[in-house]
Amino acid sequence: MQKQMKSKPNIVFILSDDQGAWALGSAGNHEIRTPHLDRLAKEGMRFSNFFCTSPVCSPARASLLTGRIPSQHGVQDWIREGNVGEETIEYLQGQTAYTEILAENHYVCGLSGKWHLGDSINPQKGFHHWFVHQRGGGPYYNAPMIRNGELVHEAGYLTDVITDDALEFLDHQDGEQPFYLSVHYTAPHDPWINSHPQEIVDSYDDCSFDSIPNEAKHDWQINTAPWGDNRKENLKGYFAAVTAMDENIGRIIEKIETMGIRENTLICFLSDNGFNCGHHGIWGKGNGTFPQNMYDTSVKVPAIFSQPGLIPEDKVCEELVSGYDFMPTLLDYVGIENVEANKLPGKSFYGLLKGVQAEAHEHVVIYDEYGPVRMIRTKDWKYIHRYPYGPHELYHLEEDPGERENLVENPSYEDILIDMKGKLEKWFVEYVDPAFDGTHEAVKGYGQLNLVGPAGKGKPAFRENP
C-alpha cells in the first residue's frame, strides 16, 4: 500500500472520444451499461451542462489542455497531417499547457492513449510518461501506437491496452511526488462493427435502442455516415465500446483504491465532444454535417468529478460550464497560479465543485466555434452564426430543447437575435488571435493539414474535400 501524499492531490483525468452526454446511465439512459461511471457520479458531482469548445476532437482537446479557444491556439479541425513521419508538426508549440504548469510544480505527468495534436513521436507539454496513438483513431486491434519512441502495433484490444499502460504508470508512483495521469481512450469513436469484445456486443442483441431517436436523415448529413440496415449493428458496437471502456475505468478506480490513495486523488471524466447516433437525423458530431452543426448533442459532453471528502457526493450540477473553464479549474483545485490566466477566456468552477452554486460562478454563457461557425448559448437561448453567408439559427431552448424550430427569420425575436449576435461578436473580438481567426479559414470538417497563419509558410492548412 502506497503512503498518501498530504499536500497536493493526485489527478487522474479520463477522456473518452466522441461520447454523447446522453451515453451514460447516470444521465438517464436506461439501456447503456456504465456501472463504474455511474458509481463515480454517485461518489462525486456530475455536470449536466458541460460543453466542449468545438464539436470535433483535436480543437476540443487543445482547448482543454491550453485553456484557449481554437481561434487562439490555431487547431481548428481534427489533425490530418503532421502526426508521424518525416514532417511532423507540433501544433501547440510555444503555448502553455496546464500539464507543463503541473510538471513545474513537481507533478509527475503521464499520458496513456490518444494525443492527436501533432508530433505524436516526441513527448510534449511536461509529460514524463508518453504512450500515445500514432494518429487519432483507427482499428481497435493491432492499433498503431508509440511506445518508448518507437512506432509499434498493439495486438490486444486498444481500450484494454491503454488501461494496462495506465496501471503500469500507477505502479511506478512511490508517493514522494503527486502525479497527474491522462487516460485518453479512443472509445467510443468508430469503427463500431467487428471491433469490440464480442461478448459485450452480443449482450446488446436484445436491446431495442429506444433511447436513440430513429429520425430521417438530416439534409446536411455527410455521406460517410452508417445509414440503412446497419443501424442496430452500429449501435451495438457504439454501446459496447462505451461499456468496455467503463469496465476498464473500473480497473483504474480499483487500482487507486488498492494503492490507498483514493481520498487524495481527484478523478475527472469528460469526453472531447458530443456525438449523434441518429439524433437530429445525424450520425457524427459537428462535422457529421456540412455546414457543420452546433446541436447540443454535438457540443454537450458527459462530465464527472470525484474526490471523497472534498467534492460533495451524488450531486448533479446544472450550471453551464465549458472546456475552456477546465484548465483554470484544475489549477485552482490544486492551488497553483497561472500567470497568464487573465489572457484566457475560462473561469474556474472550483466553487461549484465545493458545492457553492451559481452565485459563485458568474460564467453563464457558453461560446463554441468550428472554423467559420460560431455559437452563443445561455440556459434559455442559442444563436448560431455562420460566416460569411449563413445559414444562421436561433432556438428558444426553454420551450424547444430539441432545437426543432429555427426562429432566426421570426421578426418577433429580432431583439433577442441582435442581443445574442452582439454578445457573440464582442466575446470573440476580445479573445481571438487575428492570426488564428477561424472565420477566415476554409475549415470544412475534413481535417487540418498544417499550421495556420504565418507559421504555415503558405501551405494549405485545411483539406477542402472528403
Cβ neighbours of 463 (radius 10 Å): 17
Q: Which whole number is the average pLDDT over 370-383?
A: 97
* Farthest CA pair distance, the chain: 67
Q: Which whole number is the average pLDDT over 420-429?
A: 97
CB 145 within 8 A of CB 133: yes
Examine the pLDDT at 1 and tell me if it is beyond 90. Answer: no
Examine the pLDDT at 203 and tell me if it is beyond 80. Answer: yes
pLDDT value at position 227?
Answer: 64
pLDDT value at position 455?
Answer: 86
pLDDT value at position 189?
Answer: 97
Q: Which whole number is the average pLDDT over 53-81?
A: 98
Pairing of the two strands 150-154 and 303-306: unpaired
pLDDT value at position 229?
Answer: 65
Q: Which whole number is the average pLDDT over 160-188?
A: 97
Lowest mean pLDDT among 220-234, 282-296, 396-410: 220-234
- Summarised one tens digit per residue, pLDDT across range 404-421 is 999 999 999 999 999 999
Q: Which whole number is the average pLDDT over 435-463?
A: 93
| Joined grid coordinates for residue 246 | 467503463
**CA distances (Å), origin 320, targets 108, 336, 361, 364, 423:** 31, 24, 9, 6, 17
pLDDT value at position 257?
Answer: 98
pLDDT value at position 358?
Answer: 53
Examine the pLDDT at 13 and tell me if it is beyond 50. Answer: yes
Q: Which whole number is the average pLDDT over 382-396?
A: 97
Domains annotated for the chain, with CATH where assigned, are: 10-364 (3.40.720.10)
CB 431 within 8 A of CB 343: no
- Pick 230 or 64 by higher pLDDT: 64
Residue 269 to residue 51: CA distance in whole angstroms: 13
Q: Cα 280 vs. chain centroid, distance in angstroms? A: 20
CA angle 151, 152, 153 (to 5 degrees): 140
Examine the pLDDT at 241 and tell me if it is beyond 90. Answer: yes
Residue 326 to residue 268: CA distance in whole angstroms: 10
**CA distances (Å), origin 345, targets 47, 170, 284:** 20, 33, 28
| Joined grid coordinates for residue 224 | 460517410
Residue 401 to residue 30: CA distance in whole angstroms: 20
Examine the pLDDT at 27 and tell me if it is beyond 50. Answer: yes
Q: In terms of Cα–Cα distance, which of 265, 341, 216, 246 is closest to 39? A: 246
Lowest mean pLDDT among 183-192, 205-214, 363-372: 363-372
| Joined grid coordinates for residue 324 | 475552456
pLDDT value at position 5?
Answer: 42
Pairing of the two strands 143-147 and 129-133: antiparallel
Residue 438 to residue 420: CA distance in whole angstroms: 19
| Confidence class for position 466, pLDDT limits 50, 70, 90 | confident
pLDDT value at position 357?
Answer: 62
Q: Which whole number is the average pLDDT over 390-395?
A: 98
- Summarised one tens digit per residue, pLDDT across range 304-357 is 999 999 999 999 999 999 999 999 999 999 999 999 899 999 999 999 999 876
pLDDT value at position 363?
Answer: 55
Q: Which whole number is the average pLDDT over 212-222?
A: 93
pLDDT value at position 308?
Answer: 97
CB 67 within 8 A of CB 98: yes
Examine the pLDDT at 68 and tell me if it is beyond 70. Answer: yes
Mean pLDDT, the chain, rounded, equals 95
Q: Which whole number is the average pLDDT over 92-115?
A: 97
| Confidence class for position 453, pLDDT limits 50, 70, 90 | confident
pTM of the model: 0.96
